[in-house]
Amino acid sequence: MSMSEHSIEDVTRVVDGVLRSRRSLRAYRPDAVPRAVLEDILDVASSAPSNSNTQPWRVHALAGAPKQALGAALLAAFRENTLPPSPHFPHPLPEEYAQRQRDFGAVYYRTLGIDVADMPARLRQTEKNFGFFGAPVGLIFTIDRRLAPHSWLDLGLLVQNVMIAASARGLGTCPQVSFARFHPVIAQHLAFTEHELTVCGMSLGYPEHDEPVNRMAMPRRGVREFACFDQFE
């Protein structure tokens, strides 16, 4: 049906429901995701806008043995700890953002039953990133390193579309910037082109709804905390 066959209220309710129900999920059922479903998600996600229609994104999809092999290579690299830290946050992180990061960590580890001071337990949880949290599908998002920051915004719009399209189909996702640090490992493993750069990974699969970590809700700032209406007459 077209949008004209539905009331605006119905469409708004559905879209808002999908947006508000999306979570970064970290526990998945082992059920395979059909390739046709994944292709459908990526196809609709590719409607994301991009500057001058440059579409500066590339997605590598992994499942089965190839996903396990990459996960094993990433875990080994993480344990070796020879690669430099990923610069996705500045050091020091400005206090406003650092406080929200600390708040996330407190809620996250409390939900998992892990004491924040228990570094071995935290390390074991971190390592689950590299197995895509047990999800049957792993995605690696890349961009041409020659492009400017605004093209990274375009890629971010695609990533968001993937998450929303997956959620609308009963699937869960978790975007993972932790993969960026291991670009050399991923590039070699997936035979990247010279200019291809890892931006993030993503776990995708059918969620384990009974797992507390998947019911974790993070607080969001209110509209009037981040939006200014002084010039809105």
Give residue 64's pLDDT band: very low, low, confident or very high (50, 70, 90). Answer: very high
Eight-state DSSP code of residue 215: S
Mean pLDDT across the chain? 95
Give residue 124's pLDDT band: very low, low, confident or very high (50, 70, 90). Answer: very high
Percent of the chain at pLDDT exceeding 70: 98
Query: What pLDDT was estimated at residue 213?
Result: 96
- Write the pLDDT tens digit of every residue in 91-120: 899 999 999 999 999 999 999 999 999 999
Q: Are the C-beta atoms of residues 99 and 169 closer than 8 Å to each other?
A: no
- Write the pLDDT tens digit of every residue in 4-42: 667 999 999 999 999 999 999 999 999 999 999 999 999
- Write the pLDDT tens digit of every residue in 133-175: 999 999 999 999 999 999 999 999 999 999 999 999 999 999 9
- Environment class of 177 (CB within 10 Å of its CB; exposed 0-12, middle 13-18, buried 19+): middle
Query: What pLDDT was estimated at residue 5?
Result: 64
Rounded to whole angstroms, how far apart are CA atoms 19 and 22? 6
Query: What pLDDT was estimated at residue 137?
Result: 98
Is a pLDDT exceeding 80 seen at residue 43? yes
Give residue 61's pLDDT band: very low, low, confident or very high (50, 70, 90). Answer: very high
Q: How far is C-alpha 196 from the chain's CA centre?
A: 19
- The reported pTM is 0.94
Q: Are the C-beta atoms of residues 160 and 110 closer than 8 Å to each other?
A: no
Query: What pLDDT was estimated at residue 87?
Result: 78
First-last CA distance in the chain: 37
- Environment class of 49 (CB within 10 Å of its CB; exposed 0-12, middle 13-18, buried 19+): exposed
For residue 220 the two structure tokens come to: 């969001």
- Write the pLDDT tens digit of every residue in 176-207: 999 999 999 999 999 999 999 999 999 999 99
